[in-house]
Structure 1
């Protein structure tokens, strides 16, 4: 017959923490610690540094970098990157990658050109069909990844090559050897109103006669929606849980498969939005449009604090990363440098961002203990 351990009665509950001990989870965190826990901190600091750098290096006669003209030039560039970088960042937080996004942006612009220019669809019906097509491709990518357990970068890389081949070969086939599809009748049904929503400008004034492109508004809408989704909804918690540890998330009832499929649908639908905007701005689409841009989207998300391992990141950080890339592309031009240095500059930014974000992440983790 076993005897109770000295000092404990048989059947007594486990001893609690010593009297006076404080729960570390209830310890108040300092302002610096709270700031370091923000994934977008590194991107914010980087954006300020890059903006000041090109402001100093600006060689234009009127120093246009600090004017509305300068802001519009890099903000327009950042908008196209950011509309994609934000949902790509959400997908990376969820632990997956989508390499088909660049090809999808170009293919959906071609789809718009075919539906309106060749088949003479109403513009709004073409917009709806293009969004539906993007959501369908995202669902297929997600289902293949979830069901087959294949790495997402392999599945989406295959999708990228499929759409790149269709963009080139298909356009050459239907367009009699030309790689560009142009709209010959810009006065068709719904084109004017659709362009006003997706491809027009606003805020024109004496300092900026052309105004700001509506793509900037869409960039802000996508970013604000993603920030709200991550911070204020149950689905946002699911994204972090799935990216952090899918098995643990599944064990506590998180619908892992559904979450990942919806994230893939988000990236493809965003690619459709970029395709719609780019076509309605210029009334044309080119076969090679968007090729290679998938890496810019991933770079923007990484610069914004999204870890390649998943489970950590920020939608706002991804948007700031897109702004950094937009400023880099336009800042090189304003500084009068050879545009070939764009890639060198992006490489340096990417490396520094990864180092800084990792240091911040480790410092934040130590602060939690």
Structure 2
């Protein structure tokens, strides 16, 4: 007889798992933790700039020495907003470039030199104004490409490369203009017809919203400033390219490892700053019908100050387009507010220095709070 087959041993049931401890039950995934309202506000890079703008505006409101308190009138608003527009059109793309981890010190020289190009083409060569506008923008794009390609291929610091570009422009603005303009550093419109001038002025150099209290209206440069800011905010916060900007400025090597085109991103950012400089040059010439050799010299520091005041870190990887725009408004209010308050304008730079220092302190506190909140 055959032996009965051995029975297969059935697995013993697993013992019941012990009940979770109170500490484990209470543990919550930190990714699902709701940040407080204060923490969410502190994460905004533009917070320091907004607080600074409010303080500066209240300061000049309290110290306004004009007979009719014009600081709170349309006249006061037009004066500082016009100043802020010229700074802001450049400060916003400069801020994006700083977020991307680079600097452009040629922007001040570029704004002046592109205005000179416009004056030479329209005033001396009598070219169609719209052709001159188009060629000025093409020139700006080419300079941005040149700066960007040199920086990313040579690995040289961007402030060295663009500083060299700045000195080239300054030399051309003085020596070159003296040579082609018969010894004069000022170029204006000559007598005669200038095709396309009036229509170009309507777009770049006119005004809007005239009223009895403000006969001259607001300059269209303000609209360009708003437009540039809106585009930059959308680009930085709503597009993949905006993520690339933060990644390239935060850690370029890590960004390359995950497929971010760091070199292309930085080149495009340089193109953005130089194109904005061409826009400022076009607006400047069409508003005044003239250009001078020293125009724009030193303004590159104002653009960087506006971006830093707006929350952009010098180390890259953090910042805000809105903050840079608010920083430009602070500088505009500072320059015009000193005049409305009756102070000695020679103290402008000291005032800006104090604002810059305080802004850096506030932005550092905000950044550290935001960094701790992410952990």
Query: Which category of TM-score, normalised to the shorter sequence, fits these structures?
Result: over 0.9
- Please tell me whether Structure 1 or Structure 2 has the larger radius of gyration of its CA atoms: 2
Partner of 2:287: 281
Partner of 1:150: 156
- Structure 1 residue runs of 5 or longer lacking an equivalent are 1-17
Partner of 2:213: 207
Say which of 181, 184, 187 aligns to 1:181.
Answer: 187
Q: How far apart in 2 are the matches of 1:105 and 1:23? A: 52
Partner of 2:337: 331
Contact 1:249 1:256 (8 Å CA) reproduced: yes
Shift of 1:185: 3.8
1:128 aligns with 2:134: yes
Contact 1:39 1:313 (8 Å CA) reproduced: yes
Partner of 1:3: none
TM-score (structure 2 length as normaliser): 0.93
Partner of 2:276: 270
Contact 1:84 1:297 (8 Å CA) reproduced: yes
Q: How far apart in 2 are the matches of 1:88 and 1:110? A: 22
Q: How far apart in 1 are the matches of 2:191 and 2:52? A: 45
CA-to-partner distance for each residue in 1:2-31, whole Å, 9 max, x for gaps? xxxxxxxxxxxxxxxx67642212211111
- Give the CA RMSD over aligned residues: 1.1
2:187 aligned counterpart, secondary structure: strand
Shift of 1:186: 6.9
Q: How far apart in 1 are the matches of 2:65 and 2:128? A: 46
Which shows bigger deviation, 21-30 or 143-152? Answer: 21-30
Q: How far apart in 2 are the matches of 1:90 and 1:45? A: 21
Partner of 2:90: 84
Change (3 A) 1:286 1:88: same
1:337 aligned counterpart, secondary structure: coil
Contact 1:186 1:283 (8 Å CA) reproduced: no
TM-score (structure 1 length as normaliser): 0.94
Say which of 285, 294, 303 aligns to 2:300.
Answer: 294
Shift of 1:368: 1.6
- Paired residues for 1:193-342 under 5 Å: 193-342=199-348
Shift of 1:364: 1.0
Q: How far apart in 2 are the matches of 1:335 and 1:302? A: 26
Contact 2:95 2:307 (8 Å CA) reproduced: yes
Say which of 27, 41, 48 aligns to 2:33.
Answer: 27
CA-to-partner distance for each residue in 1:286-331, whole Å, 9 max, x for gaps? 0000000000000000000000000000000000000000000000
Contact 2:124 2:190 (8 Å CA) reproduced: no
Q: How far apart in 1 are the matches of 2:350 and 2:227? A: 31
Partner of 1:12: none
Partner of 1:69: 75
Shift of 1:153: 0.2
Q: How far apart in 2 are the matches of 1:215 and 1:285? A: 17
Q: How far apart in 2 are the matches of 1:184 and 1:364? A: 56
Q: How far apart in 2 are the matches of 1:368 and 1:121? A: 56
Moved over 6 A (4+): none
Partner of 1:10: none
